[in-house]
């Protein structure tokens, strides 16, 4: 078994690489183990909504200049409900921000992160095609078992193992408890072309069957259409023309006609949180630690804040105490408010804005109308979306 006297990150996706780059900036060496081949995700066109706070993180890490030509700025967010009064419009210029957020493909972000590491690889050991097959956390260290690129099973011991792979490696660890709430909803996502240009406006539309969003992405919109699984079964079965008509009926006329829909993808929605964490030598961050409904675009950005907070915690710790129980307890305490409120906020939006109970529509409309008249409330909401709690 190889002993490594520095942190090991399991997962070379955006959250894992942001953590690695953040540790590198603090002169902390790090090893990253990624199951997929190098560049495997470059063609992934899934849209990510980056908050302004995430942009600041990427700027500090030297990644933003490699990414900015591929992002689409969100300058305005228009929030409304179907078949009901009340709306709220948030504008970046009212809050002295260049944008309220940015839309970028997963693949483009991965290319920028990899390119940044290639520019300055010192202190980062990045291994591809090495799936983790077992993780054993002891009182003194964490032992990571993985399969090397040539098929040999290898082990290494580290004072701090960080799980940042979306939870895939957690399947090999018995006894962990995950608190999960299944909404019974799916999300259908894809690119759509509209009659009118997006003008850097993102739309959040609440319907009785579930929230839907249009995010400006290049010259098109990225669609996120959520709803009960039986409802989306019907939507997914439609041909392109019928799908566009159904989308227009649900969304309305604000962007004109829907002209074209690209390939659509679908995934189930849930809220989950790792209920049991490790006392020492192992920590879970990003989607592996908590999964949120995509409404309000909080989940990915919470994961980035996890990575930044953990890097700061490690950098402020002597090497002899990396992974120590009291240091990880401080990290968890520092993240409790942000992750907890993010989960509560998205769950609240889904519960309140996705039903057709008598009287709820009037309350929703009143709430949206009041928000449009209260500058301090809008600023609070923008700050939360940008920087978390």
* pLDDT at residue 355 greater than cutoff 60: no
What pLDDT score was predicted for residue 358?
Answer: 39
Residue owning tokens 């675009």: 297
Selected residue with higher pLDDT from 203 and 294? 203
Residue 141: count of CB within 10 angstroms of its CB: 21
Per-residue pLDDT, averaged over 44-57, amounts to: 94
- Cα–Cα dist 230/255, whole Å: 27
Residue owning tokens 């090893």: 31
- Tally the residues of the chain: 389
361: closest CA among 127, 152, 143, 83?
Answer: 83
Best-predicted range by mean pLDDT (55-64, 148-157, 334-343)? 55-64
State which H helix or E strand residue 250 sits in.
helix 240-251
Residues linked to residue 271 through DSSP beta bridges, in sequence order: 181
* pLDDT at residue 327 greater than cutoff 50: yes
What pLDDT score was predicted for residue 295?
Answer: 64
**Class of domain 184-269+358-387 (CATH, top level):** alpha beta
List CB contacts of 312: < 8 A, sequence separation 6 or more.
Answer: 22, 26
Selected residue with higher pLDDT from 86 and 221? 221
What pLDDT score was predicted for residue 150?
Answer: 83
Q: Give the strand pairing for 47-51 and 101-105.
A: antiparallel
Whole-prediction pTM value? Answer: 0.91
What pLDDT score was predicted for residue 190?
Answer: 94
* pLDDT at residue 55 greater than cutoff 70: yes
pLDDT in tens, 294-311: 766 678 999 999 999 999
What pLDDT score was predicted for residue 360?
Answer: 44
For residue 188, the number of C-alpha atoms closer than 13 Å in the C-beta half-sphere is 23
pLDDT in tens, 70-108: 999 999 999 887 765 557 888 999 889 999 999 999 999
- Domain range summary for the chain, segments of one domain joined by +: 2-73+100-179+270-351, 184-269+358-387
- Cα–Cα dist 379/376, whole Å: 5
What pLDDT score was predicted for residue 271?
Answer: 83
106: closest CA among 62, 149, 56, 166?
Answer: 166
DSSP string, 263-309: --EEEEEEEEEE----SSSEEE-GGGTEE--SGGG-HHHHHHHHHHH
Q: How confident is the model at residue 345 (pLDDT cuts 50, 70, 90)?
A: low
* pLDDT at residue 175 greater than cutoff 80: no
Per-residue pLDDT, averaged over 117-138, amounts to: 94
Fold of 2-73+100-179+270-351: FAD/NAD(P)-binding domain (3.50.50)
């Amino acid at each position: 078994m190889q002993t490594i006297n520095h942190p090991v990150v399991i997962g070379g996706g955006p959250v894992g690489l942001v953590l690695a780059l953040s540790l590198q900036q603090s002169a902390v060496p790090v090893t990253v183990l990624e199951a997929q081949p190098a560049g495997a995700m470059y063609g992934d066109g899934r849209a990510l909504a980056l908050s302004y706070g995430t942009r600041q993180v990427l700027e500090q890490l030297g990644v933003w200049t490699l990414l900015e030509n591929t992002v689409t700025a969100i300058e305005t967010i228009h929030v409304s409900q179907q078949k009901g009064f009340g709306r709220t419009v948030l504008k970046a210029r009212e809050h002295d921000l260049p944008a309220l957020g940015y839309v970028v493909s997963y693949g483009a972000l991965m290319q920028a992160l990899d390119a940044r590491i290639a520019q300055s690889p010192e202190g980062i050991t990045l291994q591809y095609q090495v799936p983790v097959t077992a993780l054993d956390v002891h009182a003194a260290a964490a032992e990571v078992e993985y399969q090397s690129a040539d098929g040999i099973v290898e082990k290494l011991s580290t004072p701090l193992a960080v799980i940042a792979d979306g939870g895939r490696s957690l399947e090999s660890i018995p006894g962990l408890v995950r608190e999960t709430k299944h909404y019974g909803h799916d999300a259908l996502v894809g690119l759509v072309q509209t009659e009118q240009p997006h003008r850097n406006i993102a739309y959040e539309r609440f319907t009785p069957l579930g929230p839907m969003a249009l995010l400006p992405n290049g010259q098109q919109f990225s669609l996120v259409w959520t709803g009960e699984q039986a409802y989306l079964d019907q939507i997914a079965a439609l041909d392109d023309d019928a799908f566009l008509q159904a989308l227009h009926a649900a969304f309305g006329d604000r962007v004109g006609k829907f002209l074209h829909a690209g390939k659509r993808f679908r995934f189930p929605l849930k809220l989950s949180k790792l209920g049991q964490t490790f006392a020492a030598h192992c920590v879970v961050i990003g989607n592996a630690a908590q999964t949120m409904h995509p409404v309000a675009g909080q989940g990915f950005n919470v994961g980035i804040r996890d990575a930044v907070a953990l890097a700061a915690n490690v950098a402020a710790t002597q090497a002899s105490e990396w992974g120590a129980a009291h240091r990880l307890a401080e990290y968890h305490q520092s993240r409790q408010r942000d992750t907890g409120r993010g989960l509560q906020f998205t769950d609240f939006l889904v519960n309140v804005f996705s039903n057709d109970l008598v009287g709820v529509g009037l309350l929703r409309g009143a709430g949206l109308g009041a928000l449009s008249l209260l500058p301090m409330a809008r600023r609070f909401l923008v700050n939360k979306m940008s920087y978390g709690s």
